[in-house]
Structure 1
């Protein structure tokens, strides 16, 4: 792995990012937190973002993603009926005294209605029925959850059931949860709307949406809440205001009443304390990668979309950019190939990441050229990481 550092000057020299604290006298009790701008992907706030915790009902976000993915691919139909087994009813239904959609035992319910029951009221019976209907058991469905998690880059998450009910070996962190939340909102807009439905009626019982943020009139669009004995109260939330969308994940809140209050304070700060800055326009060369055995020693790298960030107006930080890639690249090199990522940093904290692509082709050289490159790598190549 090689890293090329690019320092930005001019209007981008001074920007900012919040880390463990921000506005004066502003405190949160959550032990882990992360807030991200929906459009740019800029990290506006983070606190212990890589610390693992028990996901509890946040695991249902992964359950939902698997179902959404199967529906979009055509492997599953919205009107397909799944059976409410004795296990689903006993473990997640009325007898369980947990969140439930009150699905009657031995009834058959459509995939879409089970999704509504799982999402709107956090129904454990609905989640189990979906898992059993798709894979035959929660254990096998958890394998699907982990496969999709890996595909989505959720590298610090592991799931063992569809509900998030207590079971050994289940963990995640706020960085993975916010990545998953953004993916759901942006990749499945049709099903994302379910998260904002106000209520569901089943078995002659009407239940309101479990998300407390809807009552605060702050533009909440949805997502999930959770609680576990080990992790405390958690939330994944998204709001939309003034053409801006913010995603937030909190964990480790000790009191349930503090969960919506802390989310609202962070959202309000995120909406008012930042301004847009463009670091690079789309299709611009942002750096170069070294090439081994090529007719040219370097290949230019570009970004295919604008690199925009949100910068905090309350404090000053030095903004820099770093390109990370596996290198040197072996010739021949084709154009338009993703070879690494561009990181935008504020005071060594990663604010944003974007993929970088080769802008040109580089043909392979002869044996003499390769020998020269090999000698260079043996003698001086190790210095590259210090440049």
Structure 2
């Protein structure tokens, strides 16, 4: 039997590749909830836990990302720290190419030539004050050259399944071959939050002082007391306009990620982002439907060392529901194939729970095998063959 929590809904969304147990429907929400009107070329509002897209305008349109690029730069650095390939205490020598003097009229950390700077300070210089010089310094330190670092950035693009993103710089200054989309930026943001929680904490810091120069985080929503915004990143160039990726939580621990791109003013990107986040919190709730690691069904296995296998999800599964509609949702269990055959591998997808509201399929959660099942012995397999043969006579 499925737990009671499964009787909850999801706004049909575009579940993204985050190792979540959701299947991607590839279509917009079927609910008639009009999103707010925003003054942006493109935007998206995504629930972090469920992956549901709650509102969007041209979410796959390719845009100049500007300094939103630094989110991927940050991811590469944060992952290297997590893996132990570099340490936050490591010292980096500032080369001529990373010298702050090479970035006139753009955001920088004000690095000096031949200065010794820690990885921790450079990382903060990238995330908090959007230092272009710090990006080059870290790229050279970690990968030997900026091009090698860019290649790593684009490897993560492929790994995350991003369809409309390509990086050609480590900092985001406009380049004709560099682009991203609102949806892809939301996915990058979700990866930082999920995969690198220590890295994400830096995004909430409001200021950073280096070389006796104090600079504030350009994400003004961090100071907004009416919301609990704890990240993420701003970006601006003459061609990109004003961009902002923001993430916030509410009292129910629901987390939303908003992306607005191509806004016409510095303050406007904050106004539009806040409008989008507040609309999401006012109209939706997110619930855990299946607990990770807990079986929701036991199914017969043929030709295996075990005759039964538990099915569930390895990670907690969530759905996002319009407020007041959670009790109206129904769920049904469905296997991909009529029978399960060994060998089976833990984590293997073998079916799904499909959620339905008002007669429409609105989302699905992949069911996974909870433990390995090896092939059985010859006598057991022969018996299962006989059982299946008899069953086929009555199908």
The normalised TM-score by structure 1 is: 0.76
In the comparison of the two structures, how many residue pairs are matched? 363
Q: Measure how far apart 1:271 and its partner are.
A: 1.9
Alignment of 1:1-387 (within 5 A): 12=7, 16=11, 19=28, 26-89=36-99, 93=101, 95-217=103-225, 218-244=227-253, 245-277=255-287, 279-280=289-290, 283-285=294-296, 301-313=311-323, 332-339=342-349, 342=352, 354=366, 356-357=368-369, 361=373, 363=375
Q: Measure how far apart 1:23 and its partner are.
A: 5.5
- Give yes or no for contact 2:12–2:362 (8 Å, CA) kept in 1: no
Change (3 A) 1:42 1:361: same
CA displacement, residues 83-106 of structure 1 (integer Å, 9 cap, x when unaligned):
2222222xx656421111111123
Query: More strand per residue: 1 or 2?
Result: 1
**Which whole-Å CA distance do the structure 1 matches of 2:240 and 2:139 have between them?**
25
Change (3 A) 1:180 1:95: closer
**Which whole-Å CA distance do the structure 1 matches of 2:131 and 2:367 have between them?**
38
Q: Measure how far apart 1:340 and its partner are.
A: 6.1
CA displacement, residues 91-130 of structure 1 (integer Å, 9 cap, x when unaligned):
x656421111111123221111001111111110001110
**Which whole-Å CA distance do the structure 2 matches of 1:196 and 1:247 have between them?**
14
Q: Measure how far apart 1:14 and its partner are.
A: 7.1
**Which whole-Å CA distance do the structure 2 matches of 1:301 and 1:159 have between them?**
40
CA displacement, residues 225-262 of structure 1 (integer Å, 9 cap, x when unaligned):
11345543221111133142222222232333321111
Point out the more displaced range, 30-39 or 103-112.
30-39
**Which whole-Å CA distance do the structure 2 matches of 1:182 and 1:172 have between them?**
15
**Which whole-Å CA distance do the structure 2 matches of 1:57 and 1:259 have between them?**
14
Q: Measure how far apart 1:281 and its partner are.
A: 5.2
Point out the more displaced range, 252-261 or 110-119.
252-261
Q: Measure how far apart 1:299 and its partner are.
A: 7.9
Change (3 A) 1:86 1:251: same
Stretches of structure 1 that go unaligned for 5 or more consecutive residues are: 1-9, 377-387
The normalised TM-score by structure 2 is: 0.74
CA displacement, residues 299-322 of structure 1 (integer Å, 9 cap, x when unaligned):
874323453322113889977779
CA displacement, residues 195-222 of structure 1 (integer Å, 9 cap, x when unaligned):
1222112233211111121232221111
**Which whole-Å CA distance do the structure 1 matches of 2:356 and 2:265 have between them?**
33
Change (3 A) 1:330 1:140: farther
Change (3 A) 1:294 1:232: farther
- Give yes or no for contact 2:11–2:362 (8 Å, CA) kept in 1: no
**Which whole-Å CA distance do the structure 2 matches of 1:11 and 1:340 have between them?**
18
**Which whole-Å CA distance do the structure 2 matches of 1:324 and 1:165 have between them?**
49
Change (3 A) 1:196 1:302: closer
- Give yes or no for contact 1:16–1:315 (8 Å, CA) kept in 2: no
